[in-house]
Structure 1
Amino acid sequence: MHDSYSELVLPFGSSSENLEQYTNASGGIRTGELIEDLDSLAGSIVYKHMLSPSVRALGHWICFRLNPARDLRIGGQVIYTGTNSMEIAVKMESIGNSITEETVMIVIHHNRVHQRPLVCRNATIHRASKVNPLIISTPEERALYSLVGEHMKKRRQSNVLRSLSREPLSSSEAADLHSFYLQRGQEEDGIDVENKERVWMGGKCMLMFPQERNVHQKVFGGYLMRLAYGLGFTNASMFTRGHVRFLSLDGISFARPIPIGGILRLRYCILHTVSTPEHHVIVHVDVKANVVDVKTGSEQTTNDFRFTWCQDPEEVSTSPPRQVVPKTYEEAMVWLEGKRALELGSEIRGLRTK
């Protein structure tokens, strides 16, 4: 088991440059970045187990808080193998001059339901391939193999069998769900009235990190433009059901700056669509960026972006183009705004080609 052990040191305490890339808005370490590193390390461990392992020792597992003033060592190894899948244990340790080491976290990478797969596949035939079995050589390794690996495997199998996609709700679960729906889940007269105790599921918010700051210690406007463009492009592609080609940036407004550590909510709306002799379908998209007050939940619009895409000529089908349709009077006003913007954009593009 210990043959697959691998480790990597992230020099936070000894490299200010590296620390800058991992610092969060509170001056600590960005956990999401570390999770990405841990996932990458787990993948490397899998290859090491299958190809050419070397011997390292296994440390102790305790939980401490991350210290950005000290370097961080991440390491892990294969602790369980099935027929064509593996379990990887990954740990993180703070290391410094006064204290040799202290482990801060352990992450188990599963290979089945709800977790990133670590399953061996044949690169030629693209089918499952058998993995190298583990040789257990110490009581500690036996404990890991049995208590962690086999336990997690049995729990996953149990979860699959109990999944709601396979079995109906139990009578108590059905009663709880119905009672909760009657109390909280209904809209009044078709309109969602304000209810501070109720929060609908879903929605997308993003935390702004210091890596995206400008010289004024606010979020860089170019970064916001990149986020808005990506969101608009994705939804324009989904609307046309194919790849789209960028036509124009029709408008940008910066109402107020976004502070580092602020919560950003992005919303998109396809304002208007039209077909022309030149383009099968043109899509005009509005993306709004709002900063959210965590304590009150109130929002203020910080940026408004307008983009126009057209369907890629190589992906035009023979079916009629889809059209966005307003459902309410308010949406109709927005629809007309989009129509005006498309007409203006078409006029400007016409002038450019002359």
Structure 2
Amino acid sequence: MHDTYTEITLPFASSPELLEQYTNAYGGLRTGMLMEHLDSLAGSIAYKHVLGPEVETLGKIQERGFYFVTASHIAFQRLDMLAPLLPVRDVRLSGQVIYTGSSSMEVAVKMEAMNTDQEPETVMLGRFSMVCRDARTQRARKINSLVISTPEERSLFNMGEAAKNRRRENLAQSLERVPPNKIEAADLHAYELKYGQEEADKEKLWMGDTRLEKTMLMFPQERNVHSKVFGGYLMRLAYELGFSNASLFTRSHVTFLSLDRISFARPVPIGCILRLTSQIIYSTPPEAGKGAVHVAVQAYVVDVSTGKEEMTNDFRFTWRRDDGKPASRRVVPRTYKEAMLWLEGKRALELGAKIRGRRDQNLA
């Protein structure tokens, strides 16, 4: 397992020129760009696992005979921001393979901020699921199994296996497949009665009215080794659109909490027109305290000749207000489909709160 460990350091503290490239409009770091690097790092680690730690370049995919894709459904289970990311400190990105199946693997990634004495503080944790394909047949290809050498590695392996099993369970319990449970149905009913009936409520927004979108042309400079648009670049575009929507909805600057999932349906070709759409699908009620919003961002490839669109990616993000105040505005579903999206957002926020709560308990 340790043979796949890889790290990259971004020396922001000692390189003003580098820091300038990553600085956002509020004086912090561009989180979307760092997430793009994590995606690239995970891909590199996947190839390193198959080719061996001594290989320094990938070469041509057809010559290698295989390639990796991000698993199609809920590929990136989640990525959580665990501490503030300050621009005056160096940032280390690292990761390694922690679990392998027959043709799939789990790659754990971490972002750390280095203190003045170069002691790391974990600020972000995430995990990618990768699948190996045969370059000729496009079918699943068997990969190397992991050699577990220490109790710590066994623990990581078990964590990766548990994540894979949870992903299967979540898929089976998806609201796209099964109806909401009794508690969820009751919560939705109570919310609709409390916030959905009053038409004159100025702080209420119908979910469909929160849509924000952008349309872009995909250039070859953003291609990956498969000559398709790099997934990390799409992640950054989705993050920035979602951030804008969350800020407009809360009327406040917001702090990133988590990337809750990504679904990859199909690759994005170079030269295509890409349409990104976002909408707020859940907001915490005013009585819940700190105002958080859950944002869905979908990417669509547009066929210019017919106008037909095909969805390529589905991203889910969570942000909350910087000032810690409750969200005064409320998003209300209008249709059954929107109601199911609202429940998905509620589930995501509850899971994120549990994860951050467990971490705070461990630190205490």
TM-score, length of structure 1 as denominator length:
0.50
Instruction: Provide the C-alpha distance between the structure 2 equivalents of 1:50 and 1:133, rounded to a whole number of angstroms.
Output: 9
Change (3 A) 1:185 1:122: farther
Change (3 A) 1:181 1:95: closer
Shift in Å at residue 106 of structure 1?
4.1
Change (3 A) 1:316 1:83: closer
Change (3 A) 1:164 1:64: closer
Deviations 1:225-271 (A, max 9, x none): xx6xx46x89xxxxxxxxxxxxxxxxxxxxxxxxxxx9679xxxxxx
The aligned counterpart of 1:108 is 126
AA partner of residue 187 (structure 2):
D
The aligned counterpart of 2:110 is 91
Shift in Å at residue 37 of structure 1?
0.8
AA partner of residue 150 (structure 2):
T
Instruction: Provide the C-alpha distance between the structure 2 equivalents of 1:316 and 1:89, rounded to a whole number of angstroms.
Output: 41
Q: Is the 8 A contact 2:108 2:128 kept in 1?
A: no
The aligned counterpart of 1:195 is 202
Instruction: Provide the C-alpha distance between the structure 1 equivalents of 2:86 and 2:109, rounded to a whole number of angstroms.
Output: 18
Q: Any gaps of 5 or more consecutive residues in structure 1?
A: 56-61, 112-117, 207-226, 235-261, 266-310, 318-354
Identical-residue share of aligned pairs (%): 51
Change (3 A) 1:162 1:63: closer
Instruction: Provide the C-alpha distance between the structure 2 equivalents of 1:316 and 1:54, rounded to a whole number of angstroms.
Output: 48
Deviations 1:266-325 (A, max 9, x none): xxxxxxxxxxxxxxxxxxxxxxxxxxxxxxxxxxxxxxxxxxxxx97xx489xxxxxxxx
AA partner of residue 121 (structure 2):
T
Query: Alignment partner of 1:120: what SS?
Result: strand
Aligned CA-pair RMSD: 3.4
Q: Any gaps of 5 or more consecutive residues in structure 2?
A: 56-80, 219-245, 250-302, 308-364
Residue correspondence of structure 1 range 1-354 to structure 2 within 5 A: 1-54=1-54, 64-95=83-114, 98-111=116-129, 118-146=130-158, 148-186=159-197, 188=199, 193-196=200-203, 198-201=204-207, 203-204=210-211, 230=215, 315=305
Query: Alignment partner of 2:133: what SS?
Result: coil
**Bigger CA drift: 25-34 or 62-71?**
62-71
Report the count of equivalent residues: 202
Q: Looking at both structures, which has the greater relative contact order when contacts are Cα pairs under 8 Å and sequence separation is at least 6?
A: 2
Change (3 A) 1:6 1:67: same
Normalized per residue, the structure richer in strand is 2
Q: Which has the larger radius of gyration?
A: 1
TM-score, length of structure 2 as denominator length:
0.49
Q: Is the 8 A contact 2:50 2:144 kept in 1?
A: yes
